[in-house]
Chains A and B, each alone.
Chain A
Amino acid sequence: MNALSIAGLSKTYGGNVHALKGIDLDVPDGDFFALLGPNGAGKSTAIGIISALVNKTAGKVEVFGHDIDQEPEAAKASIGLVPQEFNFNVFEPVLPTVLNVAGYNGISRKVALTRAEYYLKKLDLWDKRKTASRQLSGGMKRRLMIARALVHEPRLLILDEPTAGVDLEIRRSMWEFLTELNEQHGTTIILTTHYLEEAEALCRNVAIIDGGEIVERGAVSQLLSRSMQETFVLDTRGNPDVAPELPPFTLRLRTENRMEVDVPHGHTINELFQGLSGQGIEITSLRNKTNRLEEFFLRLVKRKTGDGA
């Protein structure tokens, strides 16, 4: 069964702004799925419709087989939502914030208290349980929204930019937590993110949405294999005056002892190293310029807007 099935989903704001233009999307049960796209692409609108915050214009959405129009309660009970913007009562302390949402989902006070303690401890917020939410740091607020979304133990967790504005350490710990949730407990996870490294590290499948349409979809590994080239940053010993000519690779000097190289799909780093050794250039270190999915994504979006080849 699919965790999420979307068919012909459209949303038009004010009669002339077409935020979604009839998208189709299936997310299998147990998947870790990324929905990527530039700002204003329609990601948040899609999530808003799935989670009953936005009225759709046309189309059909099913969550674990429950149509959001025919069986809205069953569909909503299956979803945990972590929205992009903070949406809790800033005057309410942390613990009641989680307990209230448990109550809205029909979870008894006793079970809700135990669950809230479990998730708040898991997300390092238990010590802050009596603190008003407005006094939390940005990262804590994000984690509060995750605890709140999980307290009814949904089968589908949707996170809209969950790590925006979160420092690296907390981001990594959130990744570990989400991976555990997906792998050990079978929770289907859909996330949107601007950090494509995040999508590449966490997700098995991805859809790229742009201008209200899905422009690419598939397994992350499959999309990456279709990437036409990868760009690396090389640190060198010695500083050539001009960028070495080494077809089919394209090299550019950047700063002292540093150059960038485009490696076309089908060619190896070994070939590059051999060629550079032949010209007497020694490489001391190498890294990706951007993450691979990001490169693919940028090329795709550029191509669509006519900015690139």
Chain B
Amino acid sequence: MSQTIRNEASEDAVSLTDTTAQAHAEPLDLMAINRIAFQTIVRKEIRRFARIWVQTIVPPSINAVLYMLIFGSLIGSRISDMDGFRYIDFIVPGIIMMAVIINSYSNVVSSFFSSKMQNYIEELLVSPVSNLTIVIGYVCGGMARGLLVGSLVALVSLFFSEIRPVHPLVTISVAVLTSMMFSLGGLINAVFAKSFDDISIVPNFILTPLTYLGGVFYSISMLPPVWQTLSMFNPMLYMINGFRYGILGTSDIPIWTSFLVILIFIALLGTIAMTLLNRGTGIKH
């Protein structure tokens, strides 16, 4: 067995081991290497956002509370029912989803870009870990933060709303897949980014507006036909409505269409991310 794996198996391999040719004659156990490397990347990513929880966990949770307080309780109490639900109950799924989207994206874009800026991405590039493991590792790190913040927001929403998921499996699946999709998006953004401006442009000028226009605060059935048609081109609509279907059982979009759109985006972004890493775009000279 290879030196690396031989040493993994050996519990007492403390000191410098022999480096004879025989010790390296057998092929590497790439499965084992990638499994441990994956665990390491995810652990590192979770440690990173946990270490700076004041920046990563608290602000999005406070934002969500403010949304629920202002749009839900204060203004919402004066707004009539939306699709047959109290306004606060209608917007809670969208607010949770916003948190999932923004946090999944931000985590990967910040972390991967920092590793490029400080060059410690090289620790991964010189190691025998595959590019697929790197992508999945970072994506899982982003999902961990997105879903953690999403869960916190959901927890907070219990103080403002009495909703319970009508379709728990759909709720969880949409959240997990959406989180995966935006983590991939964050990774691609980080690969191309050359400055800190480049990692804030997409979240601020694309993601946030599209989320607002994606039906967080209203049903698109309220819009004039032309805006309804335009809204169909907004991918956020499918995720927010898919999640709303899971929680409230109502949606502007058929649930399978939501799943299909999310899965197509995951496949597309995943392919782009792998192609970029295989080419070394933005990370190799």
Contact = CB atoms under 8 A, between A and B. Distances in A.
Interface of A: 1, 13, 29, 48, 51-55, 64, 72-74, 76-79, 81, 83, 85-91, 96, 99-108, 110-111, 114-115, 118, 148, 150, 152-153, 155, 181, 184-187
Given A53-B122, A104-B40, A153-B16, 10 more contacts: A76-B127, A89-B120, A91-B51, A96-B47, A104-B41, A105-B127, A106-B34, A106-B35, A114-B12, A152-B7
Interface in B82-102: none
B279 to A, nearest CB: 8
10 contacts: A73-B130, A74-B128, A78-B24, A88-B123, A89-B120, A96-B47, A105-B128, A106-B36, A111-B8, A148-B123
A106 B128 contact: yes
A181 to B, nearest CB: 7
Contact of A155 (B19, B27, B120, B127): B19
Contacts of A107: 4, 7-8, 36
A76 B3 CA distance: 12
B162 interface: no
A73 B128 contact: yes
Contacts of B20: 186
A88 B124 CA distance: 11
Given A77-B4, A107-B7, A87 B24 contact: no
B15 A108 contact: no
Contacts of A105: 4, 33, 37, 127-129
B80 interface: no
B236 to A, nearest CB: 33
A83 B118 CA distance: 13
Interface residues of B, number: 53
Contact of A111 (B7, B24, B30, B280): B7
Contacts of B284: 53-55
Nearest to B47: A96
Minimum-distance CB pairs A-B, first 4 = A103-B40, A106-B33, A104-B127, A87-B119
B28 interface: yes
Contacts of A64: 21, 24
B267 interface: no
A104 B114 CA distance: 18
Interface in B1-57: 2-5, 7-8, 10-21, 24, 27-30, 32-37, 39-41, 43-44, 47, 51
A106 B126 contact: no
A13 B285 contact: yes
A115 B164 CA distance: 50
B110 interface: no
A64 B2 CA distance: 13
Nearest to B2: A77
A30 to B, nearest CB: 9
A96 B44 contact: yes
Contact of A118 (B11, B14, B33, B119): B14
A153 B19 contact: yes
A152 B33 CA distance: 12
A111 B13 contact: yes
Contacts of B130: 73
B8 A53 contact: no
A185 B19 contact: yes
Contacts of A114: 12-14
A108 B33 CA distance: 9
B208 interface: no
Given A55-B284, A104-B40, A186-B19, A81 B126 contact: yes
